[in-house]
A and B are shown apart, each in its own frame.
Chain A
Amino acid sequence: MSSGPIHSVVIVGGGQAAVEAAVTLRKKSFAGEVTLLCAEPCPPYQRPPLSKQLLAGKIEPVAIALRATAFFERQEITLHLGSRATHIDRVRKTVHTQDGERLPYDRLLIATGATVRRLDLAGAQLEGVHYLRRLEDCLALRSQLQDGARLVIIGGGYIGMEVAATARGLGCEVTVLEMAPRIMARQVAPEISALFEVQHRAQGVVVRCAAQVEKLIGRRHIEAVQVDGETLATDILVVGVGVLPEVGWLDGSGLSRADGIEVDACCRSVDEAVYAAGDVALQARGNGIALRVESVQNANFQGRTAALAILDEPPPAEEVPWFWSNQYDLRLQIAGFPGPADRSVARYYDSGMAVFFLDAADRMSAVQCVSRPRDFMLGKKLIARAQRVDPQHLSDANYPLQELLQ
């Protein structure tokens, strides 16, 4: 059980999980102090547009605010902007910041998210080498993506491929270098990787899989990339090779390990006054394996879960995890996690496709759709019901899937 009355909740972080937790506390009429320590200088914002509409210049930063500033004021949610937490004193229950501030807490929520994995290669420090995680990264890259500029992207995951699509739309000459045999290999089925690769190539992107990047070349600024022994000239380099949980500041606290902060089903850590949510949280899933899940849905769900647990309220209704990506006019929507032994069933349409995953008992575990929102919504429901499905119905594009919900 919880220890003592709660007057103050401090949330370290300024992303989706942090804001959702703060909002949930207020929605549940928590009257104590709610303070967000945001390491970045700007108010909380959504990250997904950083590789899409914002990078494309279709919208401006004000459009990606998670909430209007007036909303935080009205809700009496205190934002400490540009305030980076450096240390936790679990005995005195205080968080220390880079500016020497010490904030006392009754409950602490760690929602520090993740930070980019950096390239460990010769030349990685050159100017013109970009990463994409924060608003400032996006704006710095955006200023370089001019018509005709040559751009090499290392990493063919979501970020790399979204940047490729956006940069191509801005008229850049784009090459993607992916280490694995196919793009988005960790995220989607081979059929879906193939569909996206075809679209990228049709749009004029050079996609090189199984590529081994050897070094980055340049005097001060990036000039070329050496890949598989070949030199590829470029003006801009973007690195999208994944993220690591932001836990370095917790070293010695006993709360974290290198791969995240382990939490229970209600997002509580080993310290009953400390919770974690979002990209940084390692939580056991249905199969008992602890996972960090990097998604907006997960961040929101865990932020809400932690806030409710802090208030001793019942947990939120379970949700099927889901993800999305947009590249050109292709809309990728994914729900659930396929098990390692699950088989996949593809369903092809004139435009778009769906891949469903079934376990040994033909229960649906995951669905991955391209530009088929209807199949996605339906799949999500079938996953929630752990419903048995006849695979022949799934592969037959003429079979009306709605029938499965009856």
Chain B
Amino acid sequence: MTSIVVTDRNGTTMEIDAYTDRVLMETLREMDDGVAAMCGGMCSCATCHVYVHPDWLQRLPPPDLDELDLLEGLEFRRDNSRLSCQISFTESLAGLPVTLAPDE
């Protein structure tokens, strides 16, 4: 299995199995206190906002303009913010550390 390291909104860090060749959001929304991902990955709602560990950011394809625009509107945006519905998760990203952003 390919796992990721997730820190939830209570600050608890855990290793969980992630779906590969699907977007990261699909794994995160199944967690007990996971992302809402309300628009189902349409890049329309920004309710799957995560912080990617800065050391790993460069390994992800950069966000497109739509994602950047949505991120810009977020109050809790940081330099390492991403929308998890726009991150294709593959085996090469095993061990990816992400933190769930607070609800807006």
Q: State the A residues within 8 Å of B (CB).
A: 27, 46, 48-49, 52, 64, 66-68, 71, 296-297, 300, 317, 322, 324, 326, 331, 333, 372-378, 381
Contacts and interface: CB of A to CB of B under 8 A. Distances in A.
Q: Which of B36, B44, B45 is the most central at the interface, judged by chain A CB atoms within 10 Å of its CB?
A: B44
Nearest to A332: B44
A297 B72 CA distance: 21
Given A331-B44, A381-B75, A373 B39 contact: no
A373 B38 CA distance: 15
Interface of B: 19, 26, 29-30, 32-33, 36, 38-40, 42, 44-46, 66, 69-70, 72-75, 103-104
Contacts, number: 58
Given A68-B30, A331-B66, A376-B73, A49 B45 contact: no
Contact of A326 (B32, B44, B73): B44
B30 A67 contact: yes
Contacts of B44: 324, 326, 331, 333, 373
B39 A296 contact: yes
A381 B74 CA distance: 10
A27 B42 contact: no
Give the residue among B69, B72, B104 with the most A Cβ atoms within 10 A.
B69
A324 B72 contact: no
Contact of A27 (B26, B32, B45, B72): B32
Contacts of B39: 48, 296, 324
Nearest to A49: B40
A277 B36 CA distance: 18
A373 to B, nearest CB: 4
B69 A374 contact: yes
B73 A377 contact: yes
B36 A300 contact: yes
Nearest to A329: B66
Contacts of A373: 44, 46, 66, 69-70, 72-73
Nearest to B33: A27
Given A300-B38, A317-B103, A373-B69, 11 more contacts: A27-B32, A52-B42, A66-B40, A296-B38, A297-B45, A373-B44, A373-B70, A373-B72, A374-B69, A377-B70, A381-B104
